[in-house]
Amino acid sequence: MLKKLAYILGTGLGSGYTPWAPGTAGSFCALIIFYLIPLADPYWLILIAILFAAGVWSSTRIERDLDIKDPPQVVIDEWLGQWLTLLFLPRSSLILLLGFLIFRIMDILKPFPAGKSQAIKGGWGIMLDDVIAAVYTNITIRLILLINSR
């Protein structure tokens, strides 16, 4: 039962099983959910904290089960990163699109210290690089908004 739950959570409700770019598919599913569920940001923050804990647990379990470091089908980290990217930003189509695109770029490039954080064992490393990429993305979007407001 717990193994099944780990896979449901860790694969982002199955979105990580897509044969093409599972990280991008996971991010896109998270974006759709963020768009469709009109929660206030403090509630998203609580959900993100819960998702982080669930992500560390489930991705550690899946990594151990498959004996693969950071398995591609584990996309709970992309869900967390996508939601964290959009937290406390205006809800507009442009911001959602920018958040999706910039987060994917940051997640792929893994700017310091995101790449280094992957060396941390288990789910902690899997989750932390996406947290860092999301923070960088959120700051980047804030800078774009600041520059455009002048």
Quick one: CA dihedral 54, 60, 65, 69, positive or negative? positive
- Cβ burial of 53 (10 Å; 0-12, 13-18, 19+) is exposed
Residue 14 in domain = no
pLDDT in tens, 10-67: 999 999 999 999 999 999 999 999 999 999 999 999 999 999 999 999 999 999 999 9
Residue 28 in domain = no
Residue 18 in domain = no
Cα angle at 31 between 29 and 33, to 5 degrees? 70
pLDDT in tens, 80-133: 999 999 999 999 999 999 999 999 999 999 989 988 888 888 899 999 999 999
Tokens for 50? Answer: 């819960």
Count structural domains, the chain. 1
Residue 16 in domain = no
What local confidence, expressed as pLDDT, does residue 55 receive?
97
Residue 141 in domain = yes
Q: Which residue is it, tokens 């989750």?
A: 127
Residue 19 in domain = no
**Encoded amino acid at 101, one letter:** L
Peptide bond into 113 cis (omega under 30): yes
Q: Which domain holds residue 121?
A: 34-148
Q: Which residue is it, tokens 């940001």?
A: 41
pTM of the model: 0.94
